[in-house]
Amino acid sequence: MPGRAEGGAAGRGASRRAVALAFAIFTTLLPLPALAQNRPDVEKQFQRWIAGDLAPVAKKAGISEKTMKAAFQGITLNWDLPDLVPPGSEPPKQQDQSQAEFSSPGAYFSEKRLQGLAETGRGLASTYSATLKKIEAVYGVPGEIVVAIWGRESGFGKARMPYSAVQVLATKAFMSTRRDMFREELIAALKMIEQGDVDPATMKGSWAGALGQPQFMPSSYLKYAVDFDGDGRPDIWNSVPDALASIAHYLQKEGWQRGRDWGFEVTIPAKVSCAQEGPDLAKPISAWAATGITRISGKAFPAADLKADGMMLVPAGRNGPEFVVTPNFYVIKEYNNSDLYALFIGNLADRIASGAGPFQAPWGDVGKMLRSDVLAMQKALVAKGYDVGNVDGLPGYKTRRSLGDWQAKNGLAPTCFPDPSLKGKIR
């Protein structure tokens, strides 16, 4: 970490370390704004870190001195970013979970927002219909999926991205809770500049360092960005064809199955256990249908899907919409690792393509438990031999299905979602 005590006699080194330790202890007791008086010293450490720590790593990665000079000309730390850990302070401790830390999944699906995105998305899908057809022909990803992600990520390219990506990434690589990750992204951003894809002044992004209309991190840009308008370089900031094709290329490379939908809202009979969800419990959609699972719309499952794999998904357990999803659902999750994000994109895409509306089943009154209570349930289930995934107080699919399995084995009707009635029962 920058700011290490430098050489000298053992006694002087020990003394300096003692002073540094005392200062660190003192500063950790101060709120971040109180550290502002030390900002000039931290800025100096930042510049030393660029020259002494970052520059050698960048050189090994093929970054020239010319690029380094251009990228960091006038760059200072951005103190307004979240999750910063300045030298002399400690990472924030995990907050005491004294309040509900997750809300009902239904809160994610703002109908007003979805209607607005769908209306704009339909217009843009028409405007760029020829481009989207070419993109689907090349990458196999339907235009409505691409447009839905475009809308969700950057408001169809209209969202304000005011931050210097180099400044954001450098600040976070120097003093954030995930320094290693952001250092890798900073090196990737410097490679973009080195190969002439973008200049530092043009490389604008979000407060997290995500770039352009698709909101790619620099490493994703290097892997997936494509030049689809034929001007010789991928421009995800200003070229709509490049941005849309890059989104499709991302999904294709992550395994998108051409000709398949993302999934279907269904009705799961009470006799069918809800503790069967997850990508690792896939079975042919015909097998799900044989258990009595039907599409809530009343339509039949597409014939082409019957022999292909599908997976049960119950994001609110028995207290909300139920789904059979395809592997493409999990490809969307590669873009943003959230069941609700992928459902949002799927629903928005359906609205854009066919004028669909909200999911038909209502979201129940769930998600008001304390995260610490869910964490206690997870720990108790793990002690009984269940695999709940991440033991973090959040009810992912492994937690939901483990809970449903435990309920069934203990004479309770499986709900596959934590609720207050279960507090203290799982021990």
Mean per-residue pLDDT for 268-297?
97
User: Exposure of 336 by Cβ count < 10 A (0-12 exposed, 13-18 middle, 19+ buried)?
Assistant: middle
Inter-residue contact 251 to 139 (CB < 8 Å): yes
CB atoms within 10 A of CB 231: 11
Q: Is 101 a catalytic residue?
A: no
Query: Greater confidence, 14 or 362?
Result: 362
Q: Could you say which of 101, 153, 265, 322 is catalytic?
A: 153
Beta strands 263-267 and 204-205, pairing class: unpaired
How far is it, in rounded angstroms, from Cα 255 to Cα 249? 10
pLDDT band at residue 94 under the 50/70/90 scheme: low
The confidence score (pLDDT) of residue 28 equals: 39
How far is it, in rounded angstroms, from Cα 310 to Cα 279? 8
How far is it, in rounded angstroms, from Cα 39 to Cα 42? 5
- Cα angle, residue 149 at apex, residues 156 and 356 outer, rounded to 5°: 100
3-state helix, strand, coil split of the chain in percent (to 5) is: 50, 5, 40
How far is it, in rounded angstroms, from Cα 197 to Cα 235? 8
Inter-residue contact 276 to 269 (CB < 8 Å): no
Residue located via tokens 């209570």: 373
Domain ranges of the chain: 263-354, 371-422
Calculate the alpha carbon distances from 243 to 221, 249, 255 in Å.
Answer: 10, 10, 19
- Residue type at position 91: P
The three-class DSSP label of residue 264 is strand
Mean pLDDT of the chain: 90
pLDDT at 139 over 90: yes
- Residue type at position 417: F
Residue located via tokens 């959040």: 394
CB atoms within 10 A of CB 60: 9
The three-class DSSP label of residue 199 is coil
What residues contact 251, with CB distance under 8 A and at least 6 apart? 139, 141, 145, 146, 331, 332, 334, 335
59 membership: H or E segment, kind and range: helix 55-60
pLDDT band at residue 269 under the 50/70/90 scheme: very high
pLDDT tens string 196-219: 999 999 999 999 999 999 999 999
Calculate the alpha carbon distances from 327 to 284, 308, 330, 395 in Å.
Answer: 11, 9, 5, 21
pLDDT at 33 over 50: no
pLDDT at 298 over 70: yes
Structure tokens at 323: 């789904």
pLDDT at 16 over 90: no
Inter-residue contact 342 to 333 (CB < 8 Å): yes
The confidence score (pLDDT) of residue 21 equals: 38
